[in-house]
């Protein structure tokens, strides 16, 4: 596949398709469009396939960490570039390419701005082809690599909340401290982290994730209303499970995450930034990392968990995990076990 020169139509498809693949998380559509447009004003980013890079070349993930619903979050484009510059200076080898940690409305275009500002190429790849709540879930199973040293940087906040943070250490500790940094910064930070070889990335991440998001977005934006919803589930091999009014909704921002439940058409959905479970009458219909997403029933616009409100008319779609481009972390029982303690529901027995 040849290098793709990204334009505004591709960017919009990436944002809206990413919003679907975000599964309730992955940032806001408006912010994704803003960053994407700014990147295109500064230049024309190019998207390269991972096969264009030698096995030993270094790839670095760029991401946002925190709670999209946090009221005091503050993040500007300069923060994105600053975190990457801090990581580049901490490493003793060149960065060959950058990529996002996950698909989402904001996260699918992670790296576009950094690429045009620094000249470092973008790769059509994500640590995970859908959004996930924790840093370790987006770390391509580096938690299982003995002796791996995680290098991570974070920048965000304003005034007294502004911080620049750099850490090197075990992946779990580094991810936890980056998450805490997001809380101290007001809820959200721009992060660069976890350099790996292209060979390792190919084996443990999601090659083609950005192209997939653009394809989903093209399906969504190419139709209207119910037809657009049908086009999306057809593209992904999923189905519409429910459609109706949001009758109950709770959300709490805690520890840098949005956690809560929503009732739609008699179905209960739990979320930890992203939707984790879908149930009705004691029957489990989907369990993370299956993709569950809410879309406006009339306009088909994706609705993230932080934007839920009582009275909304929403459609709920489900795409089985087997149909997604997923990281090796999404079959790591140890990492997925953390979901149960947050949402207070069984997960592992539905997955393993």
Q: Are 287 and 277 in contact, with CB atoms under 8 Å apart?
A: yes
The helix/strand/coil state of 193 is strand
Question: In terms of DSSP bridges, do strands 122-128 and 46-48 run parallel, antiparallel, or are they unpaired?
Answer: parallel
**Global pTM value:** 0.91
Q: What is the pLDDT of residue 215?
A: 98
Q: Which candidate, 121, 123, 105, places its Cα nearest to that of 302? A: 105
Q: Which candidate, 264, 301, 300, places its Cα nearest to that of 285? A: 264
Q: What is the pLDDT of residue 332?
A: 96
| Neighbour tally for 119: CB within 10 Å | 8
Q: Which candidate, 195, 65, 78, places its Cα nearest to that of 131? A: 65
Task: Round to whole Å and give the CA distance between 287 and 319.
Answer: 10
Task: Round to whole Å and give the CA distance between 65 and 187.
Answer: 8
Task: Round to whole Å and give the CA distance between 284 and 135.
Answer: 26
Mean pLDDT of the chain, nearest integer: 94
pLDDT < 50: residue spans in the chain: none
Q: Are 91 and 58 in contact, with CB atoms under 8 Å apart?
A: yes
Q: What is the distance between the terminal CA atoms of the chain, rounded to a whole angstrom? A: 36
Task: Round to whole Å and give the CA distance between 75 and 113.
Answer: 13
Task: Round to whole Å and give the CA distance between 335 and 107.
Answer: 21
Beta strands in 8-89 (DSSP E): 46-48, 58-66
Q: What is the pLDDT of residue 189?
A: 93
Q: What is the pLDDT of residue 255?
A: 75
Task: Round to whole Å and give the CA distance between 99 and 5.
Answer: 16
Q: What are the two backbone dihedrals, phi and then psi, of residue 332, each rounded to the nearest 5 degrees?
A: -90, 105
Q: What is the pLDDT of residue 68?
A: 59
Helices and strands: H and E segment counts in the chain: 11, 17
Calculate the alpha carbon distances from 253 to 73, 269, 273, 302, 332 in Å.
12, 17, 9, 21, 26
Side-chain half-sphere of 345: how many Cα atoms within 13 Å? 22
């Amino acid at each position: 596949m040849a290098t793709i020169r990204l334009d505004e139509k591709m960017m919009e498809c990436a944002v809206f398709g990413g919003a679907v693949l975000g599964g309730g998380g992955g940032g806001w559509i408006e912010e994704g469009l803003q960053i994407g447009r700014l990147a295109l004003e500064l230049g024309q980013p190019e998207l390269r396939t991972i096969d264009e890079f030698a096995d030993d070349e270094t790839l670095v993930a760029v991401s946002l960490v925190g709670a999209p619903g946090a009221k005091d979050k503050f993040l500007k484009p300069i923060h994105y570039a600053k975190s990457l510059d801090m990581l580049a200076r901490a490493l003793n080898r060149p960065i060959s390419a950058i990529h996002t940690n996950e698909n989402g409305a904001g996260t699918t275009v992670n790296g576009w701005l950094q690429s045009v500002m620094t000249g470092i190429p973008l790769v059509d790849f994500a640590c995970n082809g859908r959004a996930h709540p924790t840093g370790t879930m987006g770390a391509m199973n580096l938690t299982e690599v003995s002796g791996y040293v995680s290098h991570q940087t974070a920048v965000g906040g304003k005034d007294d909340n502004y911080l620049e943070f750099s850490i090197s250490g075990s992946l779990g500790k580094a991810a936890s401290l980056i998450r805490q940094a997001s809380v101290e910064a007001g809820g959200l930070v721009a992060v660069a982290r976890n350099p790996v070889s292209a060979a390792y990335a190919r084996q443990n991440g999601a090659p083609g994730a950005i192209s997939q998001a653009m394809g989903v977005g093209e399906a969504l934006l190419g139709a209207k209303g119910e037809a657009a919803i049908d086009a999306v589930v057809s593209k992904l091999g999923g189905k519409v499970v429910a459609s109706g009014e949001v009758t109950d909704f709770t959300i709490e921002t805690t520890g840098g995450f949005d956690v809560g439940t929503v009732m739609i058409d008699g179905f209960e959905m739990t979320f930890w930034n992203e939707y984790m479970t879908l149930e009705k009458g004691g029957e489990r219909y989907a369990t993370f990392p299956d993709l569950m997403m809410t879309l406006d029933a009339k306009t088909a616009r994706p609705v993230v968990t932080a934007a839920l409100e009582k009275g909304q008319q929403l459609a709920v779609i489900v795409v089985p995990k087997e149909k997604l481009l997923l990281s090796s972390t999404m079959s790591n029982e140890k990492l997925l076990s953390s979901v149960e303690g947050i949402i207070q529901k069984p997960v592992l027995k539905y997955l393993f």
